Amino acid sequence: MPKLKTNRAAAKRFRRTASGGFKRNQGYRRHILTKKSTKRKRQLRSPSLVDKTNVAMVNRLLPYA
């Protein structure tokens, strides 16, 4: 059986947590930041978890994570 390839785009975006889920960063923080409130920008800094419906897909993209 050959080795599986890791999807490099996914490897840069997701990190596995100790419980088997995946952390991801949130979008909407790249540009046009002047009209966004400080509270909104601060909350976008914290990583969120990948939804449980998508965990299986991310597992396939990152077989060795």
pLDDT digits (tens, 9 = 90+) for 23-49: 999 999 999 999 999 999 999 999 999
Say if CB 41 and CB 33 are below 8 A apart: yes
Structure token pair of residue 20: 């088997």
Query: Do the domain assignments include residue 56?
Result: yes
Nearest C-alpha neighbor of 61 from the set 21, 3, 8, 24? 8
* Strand 48-49 versus strand 22-24 pairing type: antiparallel
Query: Do the domain assignments include residue 1?
Result: no
- The fraction of the chain above a pLDDT of 70, given in percent, is 100
CATH number for position 47:
4.10.410.60
The total number of structural domains that make up the chain: 1
pTM of the model: 0.84
Query: Do the domain assignments include residue 2?
Result: no
Say if CB 33 and CB 27 are below 8 A apart: no
Structural domain that includes position 42:
8-61
pLDDT given for residue 50 in this prediction: 97
